[in-house]
Amino acid sequence: MVTMGKCKHFRVCEVDDPNLTEGDLCILHSTDPYKSRMSFTKALDAHRQREHGASNFGRMVFPDLMDFTQNTFNERADFSWTEFMNGSNFDGATFAKGANFARSKFTEDVNFQRTTFAETAWFNRAVFTGNATFWDSTFSRVHFTGTKFEGSAEFCAVQFLGVARFGETEFRGEANFSDSHFADVAFFPHLIFSAPVLFSSVRFGNGVIFNSVIFMKNAEFSNAVFHNECEFAAVDFAEEAVFTGASFLERTIFSGGNGNSVFLGETNFEKVISTDEALRFVQVDLSRCRFLGADVRKIQFIGVKWSIIGDRDGICDELACEPNQWAYVEDIYRQLKQNYENRRDFERAGHFHVGEKEMRLRNTETRVDLRVLLSLYKLLAMYGESYRQPLLWFLGLWLYTSLLVLVGGLVVKDGTNVVPLSTTSLSDFGWAFLYGLQTIFHLNGKEFTPQGFGWVVHMLASILGPVLVALAGFALRQRLKR
């Protein structure tokens, strides 16, 4: 004999139909896409008239578009394991006692615009196969852990009043959080943004954690505001990342680590605002990051990788800027030099000093006389940062002075005799090199007298020699000072 009985989910629907076989599903829970719409609507209306039916929809399967516009759920609303086969509309709805959409499936587009979640909302492991819209909604606390957004996820102008968790969430379509406000901590750990993501003008009021996150497409954080402890740890921005005009008012850390680049594509930190050392980059590749208009004196750089320009560290702005921006790039280099000098890292400060002078030299608005002096300074000592360069010039000057004067005529006083030196005598070459040293260092010793144009060479060597030695000593002191 076949046993008649209750729906498998009787606890939810309270359907006790004599036509049901024990363990079968009622019309509300049936997964048959062709089930009678009329019968479903009739059963749903009857369910909602029951004492707890107005807020308990667990495991139901809605075959048509469900419209809950402006509905108020005064009890805790349970939509867990629910399937919306043809979309749903919660525009303007109010969930006064919490809402549970855990493991729900939204097959078509879903609309949660202007929805109020007065207490905790759970969307854990829910699946949105269509577009999900949460514009202008308000969440007290919300959990999107393990949720899948296969279409676009629109969270524009949303108020997150409590903790917001998006751990292990999959955003396969575009995600848009623009103009939203996270009043408490926001967690985005271990997730992937497969499409472009927008956090433009977002306010993180009590910190945000992006931990082990991959931004596979463009990420936009322009004009975002970061308060309290904010962290981008082991995060990869695979394509363009834009933080233009963002404000880092308390500690925000971008950390990479060995082999972790963080910024793989072009990155824009132009015109960002940072309080003293609020913004920190730790073991991050900044070779494709631009900082035009930012005060980099207030940013902390630890173990970062800069662009390589020639044989020095440089910034991406130098490689990407237009000629009319050279003055701004010069200012960035000046600030970076001050930043590293304050941290006693004089070697890297020297690299940015060279960058500063290079920008001034290239700038067509720099006075001609100053550009001439800068060119000479660069030629002789790389703007005071190279001790090898003036030493090589010194060796060249010594050799040039010695040989040229010897060719032009050089005599040496030997007792009471005056002996002319010859280019055919090997020992006379030795006397010529000694003469060169005495001339360059203004030393007294053996009496030499140049002949003819040798006096001109003598004067030039006596002037340039001490200058080159001084430049080498200054550059060496810059490298070794503590």
Residue pLDDT, tens place only, 323-338: 888 899 999 999 999 9
**pLDDT number for residue 416:** 62
pLDDT at 394: 80
State percent of the chain over pLDDT 70. Answer: 94
Contact 158, 183 (CB under 8 A): no
Domain 388-480's class? mainly alpha
Which pLDDT tens digit goes with each residue over 23-38?
A: 688 888 888 888 888 8
Can you tell me the mean pLDDT for 84-105?
Answer: 94
- Please give the residue that has the higher pLDDT: either 46 or 1: 46
Structure tokens at 68: 């809950």
Tokens of 31: 């997964």
DSSP state of 421: -
pLDDT of residue 51: 65
Kindly report the average pLDDT of the chain as a whole number.
87
The H helix count followed by the E strand count for the chain is 9, 44
Residue 335: strand pairing partners: none
For the stretch 138-153, pLDDT in tens is: 999 999 999 999 999 9
Token duo for residue 78: 């349970």
Neighbours of 400 (CB within 10 A): 16
Q: Average pLDDT in the 464-477 region?
A: 80
Q: Which of 65-79, 149-163, 268-282 has the highest mean pLDDT?
A: 149-163
Predicted local confidence at residue 178, as pLDDT? 97
* Nearest one of 157, 239, 166 to 199, comparing CA atoms: 157
The residue ranges of DSSP E strands in 77-158, in sequence order, are 77-78, 83-84, 88-89, 94-95, 99-100, 105-106, 110-111, 116-122, 127-128, 132-133, 138-143, 148-149, 153-154
For residue 2, what pLDDT is reported? 46
Q: What pLDDT is stored for residue 481 in this prediction?
A: 64
Residues recorded for the chain? 482
Least confident of 24-28, 187-191, 451-455: 451-455
Strand, helix or coil for residue 472: helix
Q: What pLDDT, on a 0 to 100 scale, did the predictor assign at position 121? A: 96
List, for residues 398-416, the tens digit of each pLDDT value: 887 778 777 777 778 776 6
pLDDT at 309 exceeding the cut of 50: yes
- At residue 23, the pLDDT reads 64
Confidence (pLDDT) at 417: 66
The pLDDT of residue 258 is 58
Mind listing the pLDDT tens digit for each residue in 212-258? 899 999 999 999 999 998 999 889 999 999 999 999 998 999 998 65
Map out the domains of the chain as residue ranges.
1-53, 54-362, 388-480
Q: How far apart are CA 398 and CA 456, in angstroms?
A: 14
Element (H, E) at 467: helix 454-480
pLDDT (0 to 100) of residue 413: 75
Is 148 or 436 the better-scoring residue by pLDDT? 148
Tell me the average pLDDT across 259-285.
87
What's the pLDDT tens digit per position in 351-395?
999 999 998 988 888 888 888 888 888 888 787 887 888 888 888
The pLDDT of residue 340 is 92
What is the pLDDT at residue 389? 83
Q: pTM of the entire structure?
A: 0.81
**Distance in angstroms (rounded) separating the CA atoms of residues 479 and 473:** 10
Strands (E), 207-277: 208-215, 219-220, 225-226, 230-233, 236-237, 241-242, 247-248, 252-255, 267-268, 273-274
Q: What is residue 450's three-state secondary structure?
A: strand
Residue of higher predicted confidence among 155 and 456: 155
Nearest to 461 by CA among 443, 473, 445: 443
Residue 444 pLDDT exceeds 80: no
pLDDT tier, 12 (very low <50, low <70, confident <90, very high otherwise): confident
- Sign of the C-alpha dihedral computed for residues 327, 341, 389 and 472 taken in this order: positive
Q: What is the rounded distance in angstroms from the CA atom of residue 238 to the CA atom of residue 319?
A: 20
